[in-house]
């Protein structure tokens, strides 16, 4: 417990006390003695440390959580804004779930805890791990209806999770659209706890509670191989469009390109009857190849 | 201070105080606590209102009711008294680690050296006042006496004007004017001394020690030493308890859940207050029910992490009782809390903030209650290739890194939304290579609530073989296809090799 007494010393001085953090004060010496070697050289004076801490805290509270989806980050000016409800609407195969997993991977990758309230029970942990999600930092909740989803989301927001994602699955959503009051409650909880809240839904559900609404168009599949060649799914392309966002015009859009593999696939083999199955890579081989690249 | 100093925390009218602690709503009523059954029950203690009506200890219940028709009578309750005694000892333990349990509302604590922590001309008196304030906060109208011996401290605690401090070495002078009955001599001995004309402690102390010893024997010698302020009994500290208890016998057996939870909530609040004062939290909650006419039931609830949140514990209790009903009226209950240290958070200066452990524990317990333990946790991949399989483990995130890592750039990878359980399909396929041509969800009652997949296959890619557990009795052999439908959507479907049935187990999304 190094930080707490130091912060108290700097931020809450006794009334009337002479508060002058000095460059060689005992608090600074004590702090330096317990800091790791690589951090010690960054701390040069107590005043600078105090200012740095304040700025870091302010920056953290105002910053957004990058999702590592370039199109989404560009539309949201850097990532999911903290303290706001962002609704991502899209039909099946729109890249919605890919964006959810990318956001989870980005947040858990920097060491933040994250919660996924998964109404559709759609998470494949092996795939999530391959996509870069740190499963140890991920709390996975599997509610059975929308009412439970909203109640669970409110609880995890109140416990201080910096990123909470509600995925309502593929339509039909079990529980309809939910009460608008419930959406307002969780939006307020996100604001109170400065958490980024992403709702991924097949249709608009959160009403006026959402600060930002993005729509993902149905994706077009990208296939490798043409005509009678053996086809190989290589990815999908969609488009993200702003429907509602404070300070931005609706209609602004970005292309969302998703690939099944992070490197170009080899040319598809020619169709030779009876030999095609033997030369094709199995699903397991594809996954292993994907995992090898994602892990690197 | 050279010798030992002992404080006595004394709770007058202990059976009544214990009962009123469990039923604080009776504080402003004329209440008596009785011992015995039916009309033969006799008053043990009464509140001020009851005493002002003329009710005295020893009155029968009908006599007491005749004096005060609005009298509220409660029988002595061993559970209430046991938990009140435990709570009294915990108050004492918040001041000193050396506490002796004397029972019946009396606790001794070693206070030598503690006066250094209290300011003022009379630090020991300040210590006594702090003890009184702590006891009052716990709901006890206690009294305090401080002296060099247990007897003198106990006698001092019984006097009005609490706290009473007896300076070191003045125990004999302090006891001298008090009636001899304060020393609680045996009946025979008391009669003998009465016949000698000895009325006060001082009269007895002035008798020659050898003569008293030769005439009254060992008992008389020890009583004489006590009268002179010499109490050789040492303080015997108690072992810290392994389990915290809180409970009571109910006036009327309860048959429905809500009234029981109303009473249980108050008991849980008291339990959590005690845990908090000890700096502990509840890791495991137990409930012992005494059932009518004769029976009992015990249940325990394991918590994902130590917590002392009353709302969470009450919700878990409610769910346990709803799931497994007692089956008979409840005549009494005892709550047991196995304590553990609450989890501590390490603050980070440069890295991401860690989740507050106590809040996380409370949230997890509430999520368990809301969703069930098999629907909350941290996901893990399972050995094998079937995508619908997974494992859930307890959510215990590692501490965040000391320095915030740089966010990785996005790779824009396409994910699969798993359909769990797989969705049954009707598929029209080409006979030669099995390539699906048209797919349609099999209609059933369940399929109403599941996604519908229907349409002509625009492009199909496959088959990708999956084989698992061929050495077991339940092998899995599947042929996977990635299909894009003309109506839109990319799906992952498979055919079971053994049965030839088709399923969809994922949507590329």
Full DSSP string of B14-25:
HHHHHHHHH-GG
Of A36, A132, A233, which has the smallest distance from its Cβ to B490's Cβ? A233
Q: Which of A138, A231, A236 is nearest residue B459 as measured by Cβ atoms?
A: A231
Cβ contact, residue pair B379, A128, below 8 Å: yes
Q: Which residue has the higher pLDDT, A200 or A172?
A: A200
CB contact under 8 A, A218 and B488: yes
- Nearest-neighbour CA in chain B from A183: distance (Å): 18
Residue from the list B367, B402, B420 with its beta carbon closest to the beta carbon of A121: B420
For residue B4, name the pLDDT band (cuts at 50, 70, 90): confident
| Range with lowest mean pLDDT among A5-14, B250-259, B329-338 | A5-14
* DSSP-assigned states of every residue in A163-221: EEEEE--SSSPTTTT--HHHHHHHHHHHHHTT-EEEEEESS--SGGG-SEEEEEPPPEE
Which is nearest to B254 in space by CA: B311, B331, B310?
B331
Task: Say yes or no: A268 contacts chain B, CB-CB below 8 A.
Answer: no
**Number of A–B residue contacts, CB under 8 Å:** 249
Residue B382 has pLDDT above 60, yes or no: yes
**Nearest neighbour of A221 by CB, restricted to B367, B451, B490:** B490
Residues of B in contact with A73 (CB under 8 A): 410
Q: Which pTM was predicted?
A: 0.65
Mean pLDDT score across all residues of chain A: 79
Closest Cβ–Cβ partner in A258, A284, A290 for B412? A258
- Looking at chain B, the number of H-run helices and the number of E-run strands are 13, 20
Contacts of A63 in chain B (CB under 8 A): none
pLDDT at residue B418, as a whole number: 93
Among the listed ranges A173-187, B132-146, B369-383, which one has the minimum average pLDDT value? Answer: A173-187
From CA A170, how far away is CA A26, in angstroms rounded?
59
Q: Which residues of B touch A160 (CB under 8 A)?
A: 353, 355-356, 359-360
Cβ–Cβ < 8 Å for B412, A70: yes
Q: What is the pLDDT of residues A49-106, one digit of tens each?
A: 777 666 666 565 557 888 888 888 888 888 899 999 999 999 888 999 999 999 999 9
Which of A2, A27, A125 should one mutate to test binding to chain B, selecting the residue with the greatest count of B CBs within 10 A? A125
For B21-43, write each residue's pLDDT tens digit.
888 888 888 999 998 888 888 99
Q: Are residues B464 and A158, on separate chains, in Cβ contact within 8 Å?
A: no
Residue among B370, B387, B390 minimizing CB distance to A152? B370
Give the rounded percent of residues in chain B with a pLDDT score beyond 90. 24
B348, B412, B465, best to mutate vs chain A, most A CBs in 10 Å: B412
At B447 the pLDDT is 66
Q: Is some CB atom of chain A closer than 8 A to the CB atom of B500?
A: no
Express each pLDDT in A224-239 by its tens digit.
877 777 788 888 999 9
Q: Where are the alpha helices (DSSP H) in chain A?
A: 3-11, 26-34, 37-40, 46-62, 70-75, 96-109, 125-130, 146-158, 180-192, 276-279, 283-295
**Which pLDDT belongs to residue A275?**
43
Distance in angstroms (rounded) separating the CA atoms of residues B359 and B30? 43
Residues of A in contact with B372 (CB under 8 A): none
B408:A161 CB<8 A = no
E strand or H helix at B305: strand B295-307
Sign of the torsion formed by the C-alpha atoms of B14, B15, B19 and B24? negative
Q: Is A25 near chain B, with CB under 8 Å?
A: no
Higher pLDDT, B311 or A262: B311
Q: A32 in contact with B at a CB cutoff of 8 Å?
A: no
Residue A219: half-sphere exposure toward Cβ, Cα within 13 Å: 33
In this structure, how many other beta carbons lie within 10 angstroms of the beta carbon of residue B217? 11
**Given this model, what pLDDT does residue A17 score?**
46
Contacts of A146 in chain B (CB under 8 A): none
436-455 in B: which are within 8 Å (CB) of A? Answer: 449, 451
3-state SS, one letter per residue, for B452-470: CCEEEEEEEEEEEEEEECC
**What part of A 67-106 touches B (C-beta under 8 Å)?**
67-70, 73, 91-98, 100-102, 105-106
Residues 6 or more apart in contact with residue A145 via CB below 8 angstroms = A119, A174, A175
Tens digits of residue pLDDT in A119-130: 989 999 999 998
- Among B414, B421, B451, B508, which would you mutate to test the A interface (most chain A Cβ atoms within 10 Å of its Cβ)? B414
Window 202-221 of A, Cβ < 8 Å to B: 218-219, 221
Nearest to B26 by CA among B16, B34, B35, B36: B16
- Percentage of chain B beyond pLDDT 70 is 97
pLDDT band at A264 (very low <50, low <70, confident <90, very high): low
Cβ(B5)–Cβ(B119) below 8 Å: no
Contact A171 B391 (CB under 8 A): no
CB contact under 8 A, A124 and B403: no
How confident is the model over B156-197, as pLDDT tens digits? 888 888 889 988 888 888 888 888 877 776 777 788 888 888
Q: How far is A59 from chain B (nearest CA, A)?
A: 12
pLDDT band at B345 (very low <50, low <70, confident <90, very high): low
User: Which residue in chain B is spatially nearest to A112 when comparing CA positions?
Assistant: B352
ipTM of the complex: 0.72
| Closest approach of B257 to chain A, Cα-based (Å) | 23
A164 touches chain B (CB under 8 A): no
CB contact (8 A) between residue A39 and residue B392: no
Q: How far is A37 from chain B (nearest CA, A)?
A: 12
Q: Cα-flanking dihedrals φ and ψ of residue B388, to 5°? A: -80, -10
Q: What is the pLDDT of residues B194-233, one digit of tens each?
A: 888 888 888 888 888 888 888 888 888 888 888 887 777 7
Most confident of the ranges B200-204, B320-324, B422-426 = B422-426
Of B347, B397, B404, the CB nearest to A1: B347
Closest CA to B371 of A49, A139, A163, A81: A139
B416 contacts chain A (CB < 8 A): yes
Residue B254: closest CA among B316, B326, B322, B190: B326
């Amino acid at each position: 417990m190094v930080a707490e007494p130091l912060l108290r010393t700097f931020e809450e001085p006794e009334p009337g006390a002479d508060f002058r953090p000095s460059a060689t004060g005992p608090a600074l010496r004590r702090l330096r003695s317990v800091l790791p070697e690589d951090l010690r050289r960054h701390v040069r004076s107590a005043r600078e440390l105090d200012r740095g801490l304040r700025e870091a805290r302010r920056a953290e509270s105002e910053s957004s959580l990058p999702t590592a989806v370039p199109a989404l980050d560009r539309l949201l000016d850097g990532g999911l804004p903290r303290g706001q409800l962002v609704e991502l609407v899209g039909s099946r195969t729109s890249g919605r779930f890919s964006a959810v997993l990318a956001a989870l991977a980005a947040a858990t990758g920097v060491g933040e805890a994250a919660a996924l309230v998964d109404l559709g029970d759609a998470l494949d942990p092996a795939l999530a791990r391959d996509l870069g999600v740190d499963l140890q930092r991920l709390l996975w909740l599997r509610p059975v209806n929308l009412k439970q989803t909203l109640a669970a989301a409110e609880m995890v927001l109140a416990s201080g999770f910096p990123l909470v994602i509600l995925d309502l699955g593929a339509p039909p959503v079990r529980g309809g659209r939910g009460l608008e009051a419930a959406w307002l409650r969780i939006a307020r909880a996100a604001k109170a706890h400065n958490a980024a809240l992403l709702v991924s839904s097949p249709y608009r559900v959160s009403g006026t509670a959402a600060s930002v609404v993005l729509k993902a168009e149905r994706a077009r599949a990208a296939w490798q191989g043409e005509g009678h060649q053996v086809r190989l799914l290589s990815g999908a392309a969609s488009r993200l469009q702003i429907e509602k966002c404070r300070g931005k015009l609706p209609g602004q859009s970005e292309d969302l390109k998703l690939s099944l593999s992070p490197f170009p696939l080899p040319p598809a083999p020619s169709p030779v009857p009876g030999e095609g199955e033997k030369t094709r890579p199995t699903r397991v081989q594809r996954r292993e190849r994907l995992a090898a690249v994602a892990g690197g | 201070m050279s010798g030992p100093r002992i404080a006595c925390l004394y709770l007058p009218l202990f059976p009544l105080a214990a009962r009123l602690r469990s039923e604080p709503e009776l504080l402003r009523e004329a209440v008596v606590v009785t011992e015995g059954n039916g009309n033969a029950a006799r008053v043990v203690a009464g509140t001020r209102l009851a005493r002002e009506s003329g009710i005295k200890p020893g009155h029968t219940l009908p006599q007491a009711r005749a004096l005060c028709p609005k009298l509220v009578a409660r029988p002595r309750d061993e559970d209430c008294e046991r938990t009140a005694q435990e709570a009294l000892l915990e108050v004492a333990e918040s001041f000193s680690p050396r506490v002796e349990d004397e029972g019946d509302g009396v606790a001794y604590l070693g206070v030598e050296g503690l006066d250094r922590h209290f300011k003022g001309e009379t630090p020991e008196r300040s210590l006594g006042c702090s003890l009184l304030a702590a006891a009052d906060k716990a709901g006890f109208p206690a009294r305090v006496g401080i002296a060099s011996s247990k007897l003198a401290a106990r006698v001092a605690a019984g006097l009005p004007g609490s706290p009473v401090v007896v300076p070191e070495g003045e125990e004999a002078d302090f006891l001298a004017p008090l009636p001899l009955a304060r020393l609680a001599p045996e009946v025979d001995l008391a009669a003998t001394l009465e016949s000698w004309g000895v009325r006060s402690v001082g009269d007895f102390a002035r008798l020659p020690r050898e003569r008293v010893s030769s005439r009254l024997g060992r008992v008389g010698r020890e009583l004489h030493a006590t009268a002179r302020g010499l109490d050789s009994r040492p303080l015997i500290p108690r072992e810290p308890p392994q389990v915290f208890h809180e409970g009571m016998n109910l006036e009327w057996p309860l048959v429905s859940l809500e009234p029981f939870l109303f009473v249980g909530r108050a008991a849980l609040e008291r339990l959590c207050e005690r845990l908090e004062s000890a700096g502990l939290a509840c890791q495991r909650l137990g409930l012992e029910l005494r059932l009518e006419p004769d029976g009992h039931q015990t249940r325990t609830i394991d918590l994902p992490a130590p917590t002392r949140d009353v709302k969470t514990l009450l919700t878990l209790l409610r769910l346990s009782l709803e799931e497994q009903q007692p089956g008979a009226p409840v005549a009494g209950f005892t709550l047991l809390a196995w304590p553990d240290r609450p989890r501590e958070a390490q603050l980070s200066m440069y890295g991401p903030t860690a989740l507050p452990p106590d809040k996380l524990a409370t949230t997890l317990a509430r999520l368990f209650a809301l969703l069930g333990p098999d629907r909350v946790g941290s996901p893990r991949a399972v050995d094998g290739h079937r995508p619908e399989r997974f494992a859930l483990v307890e959510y215990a995130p590692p501490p965040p890194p000391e320095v915030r890592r740089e966010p990785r750039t996005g790779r824009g990878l396409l994910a699969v939304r798993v359909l769990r359980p797989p969705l049954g399909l009707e598929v029209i396929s080409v006979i030669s290579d099995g390539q699906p041509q048209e797919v349609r969800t099999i209609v059933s009652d369940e399929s109403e609530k599941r996604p519908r997949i229907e349409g002509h296959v625009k492009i199909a890619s496959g088959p990708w073989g999956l084989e698992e557990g061929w050495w077991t009795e339940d092998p899995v052999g599947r042929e996977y296809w990635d299909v894009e439908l003309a109506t839109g959507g990319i799906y992952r479907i498979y055919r079971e090799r053994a049965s030839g049935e088709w399923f969809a187990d994922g949507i590329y999304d």
